[in-house]
Amino acid sequence: MMKHGVTLVFCVLVLLPCRVSVAMLVTFSEKDIADAITQGREQGAHVIEYINRHYRFGDENGLKENGIIRTKWSKLMVFSGLVSDKGMKPTEQQQDMILNRTELQIDVHTIGDKMDFANDYRVHLVQKGVSIEPEKISADDVAYFPKKGGMTSGFPRYHATIRAYFAYDKINPDDKADIILLKDKKRVVFEVNFADYK
C-alpha cells in the first residue's frame, strides 16, 4: 500500500501519465468481489466503454490491430454495470461463473478485405522467452459500416475479433508478456504488462 502511495505521489509531482501496477487478480477475496461489483455499478451503462478504454492495448484509432485483456475483474465489473442499469446485482451463481474460470481471455481486433479472413490467424504469448499456446481460440468478423452509414468502398471492409484463452496456471499474471498475432508472413507483437490490468 505504501509503495502504491509513493508511486502516485511521484506521478503527481513530475506530472507524468504513469500507471500504478495493481497485479492481475486470479483468486478473489470477498472484498475484491464487493469492490468489483461496486465499481461496475458506479460505471453503470458506461462500464463497457470504461473497460475498453482501461484494458486495451495496441492501436487506439481502430485502423490497426489492437486488443483487450479481459480479466476476471473486468468481466465482473462489466456484468455488474449492465445488470445494475436494470436495478439488479450479480447473483452468487453468476459471480462463480466468472470467478471460477481457469483461463485468461485476450481479444485481438484486426481488419481484412473478406469474410472469414481471420480464421487462419493464430495468437500466442511469450513470457521470459517461453512460448505459450492458448487452450482454445475462436474468431468472428463483421462488415464494417462507416458512422454515416453505407458500405466502405475500399480496404478495410471487415473487422474481426480473435479470442484466445490462456490457462492461468501456464502464465505469470504479475509479469510482462508479448502477445503475438500470426498469419502467413504477417507477425504483429504487442508488449503488455499483465500487472497493469487488475
In order along its 198 residues, the chain shows pLDDT tens digits of 444 443 433 333 333 333 344 679 999 999 999 999 999 999 999 999 999 999 999 987 666 899 999 999 999 999 999 999 889 999 999 999 999 999 999 999 998 888 888 888 999 999 999 999 999 999 988 876 665 555 555 556 788 999 999 999 999 999 999 999 999 889 999 999 999 999
Spatial neighbors of 69 by CB under 8 A, at least 6 apart, are 55, 56, 57, 104, 106, 192, 194, 197
Task: Provide the whole-model pTM.
Answer: 0.82
Question: What is the Cα–Cα distance from 196 to 184, expressed in whole angstroms?
Answer: 31
**Helices assigned H by DSSP within 15-134:** 30-43, 47-54, 72-84, 92-99
Q: Are the beta carbons of 68 and 56 closer than 8 angstroms? A: yes
The structural domain count of the chain equals: 1
* Domain annotation covers residue 46: yes
* Domain annotation covers residue 28: yes
User: Does residue 180 sit in helix, strand or coil?
Assistant: strand
Query: Which amino acid does the sequence have at 23?
Result: A
Query: How confident is the model at residue 18, as a pLDDT?
Result: 37
* Domain annotation covers residue 154: yes
* Domain annotation covers residue 3: no
Query: How confident is the model at residue 60, as a pLDDT?
Result: 76
- Give the domain range for residue 173: 22-196
Question: What is the Cα–Cα distance from 59 to 109, expressed in whole angstroms?
Answer: 10
Query: How confident is the model at residue 136, as a pLDDT?
Result: 97
Which residue in this structure is represented by grid cell 521470459?
128
* Domain annotation covers residue 161: yes
* Domain annotation covers residue 174: yes
* Domain annotation covers residue 5: no
* Domain annotation covers residue 13: no
- Count the residues in the chain: 198
